Structure 1
Amino acid sequence: MKIGYARVASKWYQTELQVAKLESLGCDKIWKAHNHQNLTADQEFSEFLVHIRKGDTVVATSLLAVAETKSDLLSLLNKIEIKGAYFLSIEEPWCDTTPGNAITLKSILQGVIDFELAVAELKQTSDISYTARAVGVAVGRPSKLDEEMKLEAISLLKAGKTAAEIGRLLGVSRSTISRLKRDFALDRE
């Protein structure tokens, strides 16, 4: 049996248009959720699921009618699957869990959610320069000293020259040489 699900997502999105689409697809029953009791979309859908039987197909006009996030959608698809039923979205034909499509769709959706969680975790890392370097991205301004100049500066530091003298010789500031000295831990030698 095809069971339509129509829900008012906002004041401009009325159930009449959804009902008309669902009727045109031949839905045997249509459930209208109006959020009149200040229920969340998940609570409304849970009430709806009580009426679903094994083998039924839940049809929605749009994913917006049943979920607000990708994780909500995955949760709802899992609830429908537990009931032994299927799901189909009219506006998003790729979201079809009828036999032959269910495993692929749920796997892709779970993968997208896992990817987004990994990206969010990466963004929350406190040391952004470490994170960027970990994936091969250079951070900060380019170095004023190339590798040859760094080697020359290090050898001059070891020979006892001051950072100011080496800076004048190489055309960079004293602080650039001091940072090089610190980075190579030449103070401890």
Structure 2
Amino acid sequence: MKFGYARVSSNSQDLTVQIEALKAAGCEVIRSEKVSGTSRQGRHELEALLEFIRQNDVLCVTRIDRVSRSLGDLLDIVRLLKSKGADLVATEQPFDTTSIYGELTINLLGVFANFETQLRRERQIEGIARTKRDHPEKYRGRPRSIDPTEIRRLKDEGMGAAAIATTLGIARTSVYRALEKP
């Protein structure tokens, strides 16, 4: 049986093109989700497919970066599929895991997907640093959620750290930290 998996990174993106391609490839069941591919965490549809797949089944994606952008996750997924006697196929990239060449291609594409993720992360860090430098008013940090004067007032009324934390809905360590500051 062929199972399809479609994924985009954000809610504003559309899955239609991937789903149509997977239907055209003969996928009988197609699961989709809108979540980042940098990790398997939170990807419930993928996990459901990986759990359900049996021997001689095929997991179909349009491109390898739809199933994973992390080389480690990609290799884990391929190992899991292989242990179940199943395969991974990409409709837009000419390979499958039934041959050594297909596995070579997956490893190479996984490396490139990982490289692309690292480049994107570096560009993001550079952009944030540039914005902090050129427009410091845009990066002031998270607004304070803890009022140190309220913590001191409650302490002066005789409350202990645990009671203050419970009352204000904060961590006890935050209470201690606020009380240490003059």
Structure-1-length-normalised TM-score = 0.48
Q: Which of 1 and 2 has greater Rg? A: 1
Which structure's relative contact order is higher, taking Cα pairs within 8 Å and 6+ residues apart? 2
Structure-2-length-normalised TM-score = 0.50
